[in-house]
Chain A
C-alpha cells in the first residue's frame, strides 16, 4: 500500500532537482571589501552584472578593524574563498611580491582603456613598483581625506564677528593649516563643543593618514623613494614642526580624541561635539543623511584638506580590485572587472555614491553636482599622495602609528618619536635588503 507514495515522492524529488536552477550554472563571484557604504553601493551595482550575465555576485564585507588580518590570513592559507579582493593601495607591494595577486598588465592593456582611468588612480591603486607600468589591480574606489564643517556655526553672524575680532580675518572654511588651528581654537568651548575631530588613533592606519598630509605640506617626507634612506627626511626640521602642529591640534579636540578613527570622528560630528571633522570622502554620505545625522544633515559643508607652509598634499585612500591568485573563478573575475570599468557602469557607480576612477565621469557635471561634497573631492585630486606601498608597508606603518600616537598623548617628544621612526624604518629596509649593493 505504501509503494505508490514512495513513487510519488521519488518523482517529486526528481522534478525538484530537474526544475531547480541548473547545477552547471556559473559559480557565484565572491568580491571581498571592507564593511562600509561603498561596499553596499557595489552590492547594488553588481545586480546589473547579474542581470546581464546570470552570474551571481556575492559582496563580502569585513569590518575595517580586521579587514587586513582576514585577507592576509586567507592569502597565507592560499584560500580560494575570495575571487576579487578590493584592497588598500598600500597592500599592492606585499600582495604582488608575495604572489597573492595575479598580474593584470597584459590583460588590462588588451581589454581596458587604461587612458580612461585617472593617472593618479592608476599610480596609487594599480601599479607596482610605481612607474613600472606593471598592473596588479583595477582602480575601484578613489578616496581622499577631506573635512566637513558645521555651516550653522560658520555662518552665524555673531560667531563671524567674534572670530574677526579675535583673529583679524573672516571666518570661513580654512585654506591653510594655520587657519584650521585658529578656527579649531575658536570653537573649543568644553565640555559641549570642540574645534575639531581628526584621525588620532593608533588603530590600523588612522593617525598616519591624518598626520602624513600635514607632514608633507610642512615640507617633511617619509624618505627617498629611490634609495629608501629615511634618516634626515622623516625626522627633519619640517617634519618635527608638522608633528608639533598636530600635537597642538588635539588640544582643540574632545577628550576622547586620542582614540578617534573614522567611526569615532563621524560619531563626534553627528553628536554636535565638534565644529570641524577630518574624514575620508566615502564616509561623508553619512553626514548628509537625515536618518543618520538628523541634527546637522542640512547644516554640513565640506572643504578640502588645507595647504601647509611648504606645499599642498592630501592623503589618498581608496582601493583597487585585484584577483586572488588562489581564485578558481579568474575568468569571471576578469569579466566582472571589464564590465565594472565601462563608462555607463561607472556613471551609475558614481550616482550610487562610489568615487569613480573614470576620468570622464569624474569631470562630468553630473558627478560634480551629485552630492554637496563631490566638488571638494574633485578639487582635492591634484594634491594626492600615498604612504609607502612596498611589501614591508605594514611594518613601517606600525612604527608610525605607535610613535605618532605617543606624541599626541604627550608620552613622547616629536623629535624623539621621529628619530625613533627613522631608525626603525631604516632597520626594516636594511633587513629587507633595500640597501644591498
Chain B
C-alpha cells in the first residue's frame, strides 16, 4: 500500500525524470565525461602509461606541435586521397549495381543478399583474407591468376602491399569491395521509392533513357545518395582496421598511414595521451566540417 501511495504521489514531471535519468546518467558517464576529459587532457602533457606523472598543463602546445608537423599533414593528404578514391569508386559501383538490381528478375533476393555479404563481415577478417589474396609474390591469388599475363609481358608479380605506389590502390580496392554494397543498398532504397507514374509519363512523351535518368531518377534519388556519401565519407575518414591488417600498420613506409592509424600509434603505442587527445579533436573538427558541407548541400537540394 505504501508503495502504491508513493507511486501515486509522483507528479508527471517526476515520472518523466525517473524514466529519463538512467539514460542521462549513462550518457553523461559514457559519452559526455570522456569527451570533456579528453578535451581537458588535450591541453596537457600526459602519458596514461605513466600514471604517477600527473597531467601538466601546456596550453595549446599539443595542437601547435601537431599542426606544425609536416608528417601529420602528409597523413591528412594520404587520408584525403584514400577518401576521394574509395568513396568515388564505391559511389559509382554501388549506384551502378542498384540501377541493375532495380528491376524484377529471378533470384533477385538471393543476388541482392549475396552482394550485401561483404559489408556484413568484420573489417579485420576482410583485411586478413585480402592480405593473402593480394600477396605480393606468386602465392597471392590475384598474382597467381595474373601470372600467365605477367609472364607473357615479362613482368614481375604486382607488389600490391609492398610498393608505396600500389599499397593505397590495394586498400581502396578492399574498402570498395567491402562498402560498395552499402552504397548499393541506400541507392536501391531511393530508386524503389521513385514513383512509377513519372516514368510512364516520360514514356508517353517519348523521353530518352538518359533524359529519364537525368530528369527523374537522379533528382529524386540524390538526397538519399548524399546521405550515403556522407556516411561513407565520415567512415572512410576514420579508416583504420583494413590499413592496420592489410598493409601491416600503414606501410610500406607511410604510404597508407591514415590519420586514424597515426592516432592509434600516438594513443596505444606511445601512450602519448595528451597529444593523442589533441589529434582526435583535430580529426573531429575536420569530420564535422565535412559533414556540414554535405548537410548544407543536402538542404539546398531539398529546397530546390
Residues of A participating in the B interface, judged by any CB pair closer than 8 Å: 68-69, 72-73, 75-76, 78, 94, 97-100, 190-191, 201-203, 254-259, 391-392, 394-395, 398, 402-403, 405-412, 431
A76 CA to B50 CA, complexed, in Å? 8
B contacts with A, residue count (CB < 8 A): 34
Contact B251 A255 (CB under 8 A): no
Whether A99 touches B252, Cβ cut-off 8 Å, given contacts A191-B137, A255-B162, is: no
- A-B pairs with beta carbons under 8 Å apart, 24 shown: A68-B269, A72-B49, A75-B49, A76-B48, A76-B51, A94-B50, A97-B52, A99-B52, A191-B137, A191-B138, A203-B248, A255-B162, A256-B137, A259-B162, A259-B251, A391-B47, A391-B49, A402-B253, A405-B251, A405-B253, A406-B254, A409-B163, A409-B253, A409-B255
Contact A254 B137 (CB under 8 A): yes
Chain A nearest Cβ from B254, distance in angstroms: 6
Number of A-B contacts (CB under 8 A): 106
A202 CA to B164 CA, complexed, in Å? 13
B270 interface residue (CB < 8 Å to A): yes
Contact A395 B164 (CB under 8 A): no
A256 CA to B170 CA, complexed, in Å? 14
Please give me the residue from chain A that is nearest to B147 by CB atom.
A191
Contact with A along B41-78 (1 / 0, CB 8 A): 00001011111100000000000000000000000000
A259 CA to B157 CA, complexed, in Å? 15
Please give me the residue from chain B that is nearest to A409 by CB atom.
B252
Please give me the residue from chain B that is nearest to A256 by CB atom.
B136
Q: Which residues of B contact A97 (CB under 8 A)?
A: 50, 52
Whether A255 touches B48, Cβ cut-off 8 Å, given contacts A203-B249, A398-B270, is: no
**Option from B48, B139, B162, B269 in Cβ contact (under 8 Å) with A257:** B162
Q: Which residues of A contact B269 (CB under 8 A)?
A: 68-69, 394, 398
Please give me the residue from chain A that is nearest to B138 by CB atom.
A191
Q: Beyond A191-B157, A259-B136: 17 further Cβ-contacts under 8 Å? A: A98-B47, A99-B52, A190-B156, A191-B156, A202-B253, A256-B135, A258-B136, A259-B162, A394-B269, A395-B272, A398-B269, A402-B253, A402-B254, A405-B253, A408-B252, A409-B164, A409-B255
Whether A69 touches B252, Cβ cut-off 8 Å, given contacts A76-B51, A255-B159, A258-B162, is: no
Chain A nearest Cβ from B167, distance in angstroms: 9
**Option from A201, A391, A403 in Cβ contact (under 8 Å) with B248:** A201
Q: Which residues of A contact B255 (CB under 8 A)?
A: 409, 411
Whether A411 touches B136, Cβ cut-off 8 Å, given contacts A76-B48, A98-B52, is: no
B268 interface residue (CB < 8 Å to A): yes
Q: Which residues of B contact A394 (CB under 8 A)?
A: 269-271
Please give me the residue from chain B that is nearest to A267 by CB atom.
B139
Q: Sorted from nearest, which 8 A-B pairs have the closest CB atoms? A: A406-B253, A409-B252, A411-B253, A202-B251, A256-B136, A258-B162, A395-B270, A411-B164
Q: Which residues of B contact A408 (CB under 8 A)?
A: 252
B181 interface residue (CB < 8 Å to A): no
A258 CA to B248 CA, complexed, in Å? 10
Contact with A along B222-249 (1 / 0, CB 8 A): 0000000000000000000000000011
Please give me the residue from chain A that is nearest to B157 by CB atom.
A255
B175 interface residue (CB < 8 Å to A): no
Contact A201 B251 (CB under 8 A): yes
Interface SS of chain B: helix, strand, loop or mixed? loop
Contact B271 A72 (CB under 8 A): yes
Contact A202 B272 (CB under 8 A): no
A78 CA to B253 CA, complexed, in Å? 34
Q: Which residues of A contact B180 (CB under 8 A)?
A: none
Most chain B beta-carbon contacts within 10 A, residue among A73, A76, A78 = A76
Most chain B beta-carbon contacts within 10 A, residue among A76, A98, A254, A258 = A258
Contact B248 A255 (CB under 8 A): no
A190 CA to B51 CA, complexed, in Å? 52
A403 CA to B74 CA, complexed, in Å? 14
Please give me the residue from chain B that is nearest to A191 by CB atom.
B138
Residues of B101-157 contacting chain A, CB below 8 A: 135-139, 156-157
Chain A nearest Cβ from B107, distance in angstroms: 39
Contact with A along B7-22 (1 / 0, CB 8 A): 0000000000000000
Chain B nearest Cβ from A238, distance in angstroms: 23
Contact A259 B161 (CB under 8 A): yes
A394 CA to B267 CA, complexed, in Å? 11
B302 interface residue (CB < 8 Å to A): no
Residues of B159-215 contacting chain A, CB below 8 A: 159, 161-164
Q: Which residues of A contact B162 (CB under 8 A)?
A: 255-259, 409
A412 CA to B257 CA, complexed, in Å? 15
Please give me the residue from chain A that is nearest to B160 by CB atom.
A256
Most chain B beta-carbon contacts within 10 A, residue among A94, A256, A395 = A256
Chain B nearest Cβ from A157, distance in angstroms: 30
Whether A202 touches B159, Cβ cut-off 8 Å, given contacts A76-B49, A94-B49, A394-B270, is: no
Q: Which residues of A contact B265 (CB under 8 A)?
A: 398
Contact B51 A405 (CB under 8 A): no
Chain A nearest Cβ from B248, distance in angstroms: 5
Contact A202 B248 (CB under 8 A): yes
Q: Which residues of A contact B161 (CB under 8 A)?
A: 256, 259
B94 interface residue (CB < 8 Å to A): no
Q: Which residues of A contact B271 (CB under 8 A)?
A: 72, 76, 94, 394
Residues of B260-274 contacting chain A, CB below 8 A: 265, 268-272
Contact A391 B249 (CB under 8 A): no
Contact B270 A411 (CB under 8 A): no
A394 CA to B269 CA, complexed, in Å? 6
Please give me the residue from chain A that is nearest to B268 by CB atom.
A69
